[in-house]
Amino acid sequence: MSIDWKQYELEPGFYDELISSPGNPRVPARQLANYLSTLTEDELQSRMLASDATIRDMGVSFTVYTDGENIDRAWPFDIIPRVISANQWEKTAAGLKQRLQALNMFIDDLYHEQRIIKDGIIPEFVLKQSKNYRPECEGIRPRFGVWAHVCGTDLVRDGDGQFYVLEDNLRVPSGVSYMLENRSIMKRVLPEVFEKVSIAPVGDYPEALFNMLASLSPRPGDSPVVAVLTPGIFNSAYFEHAFLAQRMGAELVEGSDLVVGKDDCVYMKTISGLERVDVIYRRIDDLFLDPEVFQPDSVLGVPGLMRAWRKGNVALANAPGAGVADDKVVYAYVPDIIRYYLDQEPLIPNVETFLCYDDKQREYVLANLDKLVVKPANESGGYGMLVGPHSTKKEREHFAELIKANPRNYIAQPTLALSTAPTLVGRSKVEPRHLDLRPFILQGESSYVTTGGLTRVAMKKGSLVVNSSQGGGSKDTWIVG
């Protein structure tokens, strides 16, 4: 049996990325859907095996922590891509650039005049109580006024087919290597479709990332020494750190490979002695960067790194303190932030968000916990959340206590009707599975957005949780013109 799109059971109330009604693929996905339905069950099966083998060969793995042990497991991958029209993507990309520009102006303002607070757009205590505000960064002027150079923004499509921003990851967003690997897998799995459909390439990301990083160098003119700073092999994203370093031709370093000299410059230890480092793409959290300034017991960081950065002798991407805008309370204000700094209307809307510190909004949240998704303001990875419709009474009571005890730390959003896309289940059956999209945005001297991004899929039927740490998988994302 091959795939019969007439038998595809759409979930009522949800937008499907590929199929508009049973048997009818959306325009940009039409050639793909038609091609897939010409494959026999055996052919489909052999494509799936080919993708498994490719993943194994490439060594794509994701480390999951369980009881202190970490295991590598293959990154679950579905061979049916998600398709978006080039037209729609162009608008979305513009919205993403707009958003990151405004966020960078916001961060720069917070560490200088704090005009946005003085002008009463954002209440002062939001900043005062932010876990990610770093007073150590006040007064510093990173190049181009940019603090968040790499941003992973999570987009979701609601029942109405509109893209919404769910969150902005401005600290150390990961996943871009999977976006690139997914494309190489698809080229081996469905080469015939690439001949017929004009699919926009995604492979220029490492180049764009390198150029952006190089533009930050404190020694312009020279060919800058760029390093990727990783916490090491036990970090869940180590694969990606190694991957990006390799693709950019940058050095992959750990804290112990670096030393800050008396001259406040950063050096790496090489077999020829010490060599100065100009730009560090750091993939470790602020608090571990420099034991002289932050956590004194951190062995991941480099003593003196903040000193070197403050003096302008090394560029850090993302800059320390950029995470202040990666806070779900700040998120609720982003549309206002865009209007305030850019004097523009936001091109991509936010998901409706209730702030628990506001008495009225909190009352509403507490009365509707069974319908809402409650999130702590400063967590990532889908941890510490309450998904109302899937929760028990006991869990809801627990969260009500948490919210009352620390209202600033919680926000709530309506449960989204996360869009679906056909996903291969068993040998040749396709069923809808929920997904989101994480494009990556770069900002240095200029801005860049990935072509599409990483599509994450909840592989379990009915599940809305797409995080790779919680059983999510991924699909290739095609921007089709």
Partner 1 sequence: MLSKVAERVYWAARYLERVESTARMVSIYDTLLFDLPRQINLGWYNLIVINSLEESFHERYSVQDERNVVKFLLGDDTNPGSIVSSLTAIRENIRTTRDVIPGDTWELVNELTQYVQENLNQGINRRHRHEFLDSIIRACQQIMGLWQVSMPRDKAWEILRLGQNIERADMTTRNLDAAVATIAQVEDDDFAVNAHQTIWGNLLRSLSADQPYRRAMRASVKGPLVSRFLMQDAQFPRSLRFCLDDMVAASQALPRSETVIGDIQRLHKTVMARAEDTEPGPELRDVLNDLQIALQYLHFTISSTWFLNEQDAQQAVAQ
- The contact set with partner 1 (CB under 8 A) reads 57, 59, 233, 242, 245-246, 251-254, 256-257, 259-263, 267-274
Min dist CB 271 to partner 1, Å, is 4
CB of 65 to partner 1, least distance (A): 17
Partner residues linked to 157 by β-bridges: 163
Q: How many CB atoms lie within 10 A of CB 141?
A: 10
The position carrying tokens 């590598």 is: 72
Closest CA to 59 of 292, 246, 260, 332: 246
Task: Please report how close the Cβ of residue 80 comes to partner 1 at its closest, in angstroms.
Answer: 27
Identity of the residue, 256 or 344, whose beta carbon is nearer to partner 1 in the bound complex = 256
Separation of alpha carbons 152 and 169, rounded Å: 5
Q: Which residues pair with 127 in a beta bridge?
A: none
Q: Which residues contact 365 (CB under 8 A, 6 or more apart)?
A: 354, 356, 372, 374, 403, 410, 412
**Shortest distance, position 77 Cβ to partner 1, whole Å:** 19
Q: Which is nearer to partner 1, 41 or 264 (CB)?
A: 264
Q: How far is the CB of 448 from partner 1 (least distance, A)?
A: 24
Residue type, 193: V
**Of the two residues 158 and 254, which places its CB atom closer to partner 1 in the complex?**
254
Q: For the CB of residue 348, give the shortest distance to partner 1 in the complex, in Å.
A: 37
Question: The tokens 């990783």 sit on which residue?
Answer: 230
Nearer to partner 1 by C-beta: 5 or 267? 267
By beta-carbon proximity to partner 1, the closer residue of 223 and 272 is 272
**Residue 75: strand pairing partners:** none
User: Would you say 208 or 242 has its CB closer to partner 1?
Assistant: 242
Q: How far is the CB of 232 from partner 1 (least distance, A)?
A: 8
Those residues whose C-beta lies under 8 Å from the C-beta of residue 109, and which sit 6 or more positions away, are 115, 116, 341
Q: In whole angstroms, give the CA distance from residue 110 to residue 116.
A: 8
For residue 334, the minimal CB distance to partner 1 (Å) is 38
Q: Which is nearer to partner 1, 198 or 270 (CB)?
A: 270
Minimum distance from CB of 246 to partner 1 (Å)?
5
Residue 355 phi, psi dihedral angles, 5° rounding = -95, 120
Nearer to partner 1, 250 or 338 (CB): 250
Burial 14-44 (b: 16+ CB within 10 A, else e): bbbbbbeeeeebbebbebbbeebeebeeeeb
CB 247, min distance to partner 1, A: 10
Instruction: Tell me the pairing of strands 77-85 and 472-480.
Output: parallel
Closer CB to partner 1, residue 267 or residue 341?
Answer: 267
What is the C-alpha to C-alpha distance for residues 392 and 267, in angstroms, rounded to an integer?
53
455, amino acid identity: T
Which one, 272 or 392, has the nearer CB to partner 1? 272
**Of residues 218 and 422, the one with the C-beta less far from partner 1:** 218
Nearer to partner 1, 262 or 393 (CB): 262
Q: Buried b vs exposed e over 242-253: b needs ≥16 C-beta within 10 Å?
A: bbbbebbebbbb
What's 442's DSSP letter? E
Backbone angles phi and psi of 255, in degrees to 5: -50, -40
Task: List Cα–Cα distances, 259 to 222, 264, 266, in angstroms.
Answer: 21, 10, 6
Closest distance between partner 1 and the C-beta of residue 274, in Å?
5
Residue 60 or 140 with smaller CB distance to partner 1: 60
User: Which amino acid, 460?
Assistant: K
- Min CB(402)–partner 1 separation in Å: 40
- Is 341 within 8 Å of 372 (Cβ atoms)? no
CB of 259 to partner 1, least distance (A): 5
Residues 334 and 168 sit within 8 Å (Cβ to Cβ): yes
**Cis peptide bond prior to 409, omega within 30° of 0:** no
CB atoms within 10 A of CB 438: 27
Among residues 371, 419, 395, 358, the alpha carbon closest in space to that of 166 is found at 419
Tokens of 213: 């990083």
